[in-house]
């Protein structure tokens, strides 16, 4: 399974990738690689986290064709949509991604991660965990138990409960959207 989570610097894209890699590798006992790339700017520039998960040894650590692509900015979608496999899964934050190209035979899920994080949790900074929860809930990429544990281990001390609430909001949204394809 090849996964790319993308957006801009400052959204916690790399942390989301680390969490899913930790969940799949350490807790679900899969073979995993996780890499990241940044634009030239520290905040606001393009950012992506690539995760390859397999039952067998991973021979190549980078995503060549994403089974799952999560985009938290328009620039990220424009840059990476061509890497999504036919019949792949695309998750977008509709408040930050306004133009979705017509790509045949993919499933598109609109996850208002930033809005949920801001309006329901009072902290825009956890939008990455809302998106991650939805990604896991929709794709079953990892077990929710493993992801919760990986969140506890990966986020800054003192923020565990807020991040877990955000993760759960995303999982709950995924349940609502499970059969919705736009």
pLDDT band of residue 46 (cuts 50, 70, 90) is confident
Flag whether the pTM goes above 0.85.
yes
Tell whether 115 is covered by a domain: yes
Provide the CATH number for the domain around residue 39.
3.40.920.10
How far is residue 155 from each of residues 126, 149, 152, measured CA to CA in Å?
Answer: 10, 10, 6
Tell whether 145 is covered by a domain: yes
pLDDT in tens, 82-111: 999 999 999 999 999 999 888 888 999 999
pLDDT for 44 beyond 70: no
% of residues, the chain, pLDDT over 90: 84
How much is the pLDDT for 182? 42
Tell whether 99 is covered by a domain: yes
Tell whether 182 is covered by a domain: no
pLDDT for 181 beyond 50: no
Question: Could you give the CA distance from residue 140 to residue 145 in angstroms, rounded to a whole number?
Answer: 11
Tell whether 114 is covered by a domain: yes
Tell whether 80 is covered by a domain: yes
How much is the pLDDT for 179? 55
Contacts of 158 (CB under 8 A, 6+ apart): none
- Domain boundaries, position 88: 2-177
Contact 149, 25 (CB under 8 A): no
Mean pLDDT of all residues in 26-44: 82
What's the domain count of the chain? 1
How much is the pLDDT for 180? 54
Tell whether 6 is covered by a domain: yes
Tell whether 170 is covered by a domain: yes
């Amino acid at each position: 399974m090849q996964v790319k989570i993308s957006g801009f610097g400052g959204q916690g894209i790399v942390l989301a990738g680390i969490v899913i890699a930790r969940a799949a590798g350490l807790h679900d006992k899969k073979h995993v690689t996780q890499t990241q790339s940044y634009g030239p700017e520290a905040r606001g520039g393009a950012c992506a986290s690539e995760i390859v998960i397999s039952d067998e040894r991973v021979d190549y650590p980078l995503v060549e064709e994403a089974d799952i692509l999560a985009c938290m900015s328009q620039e990220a979608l424009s840059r990476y949509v061509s890497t999504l496999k036919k019949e792949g899964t695309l998750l977008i934050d509709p408040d930050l991604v306004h133009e979705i190209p017509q790509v045949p035979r993919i499933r598109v899920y609109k996850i208002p991660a930033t809005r949920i994080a801001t309006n329901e949790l009072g902290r825009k900074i956890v939008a990455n965990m809302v998106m991650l929860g939805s990604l896991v809930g929709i794709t079953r990429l990892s077990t929710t138990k493993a992801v919760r544990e990986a969140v506890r281990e990966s986020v800054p001390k003192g923020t565990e409960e807020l991040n877990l609430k955000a993760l759960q909001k995303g999982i709950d949204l995924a349940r609502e959207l499970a059969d919705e394809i736009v």
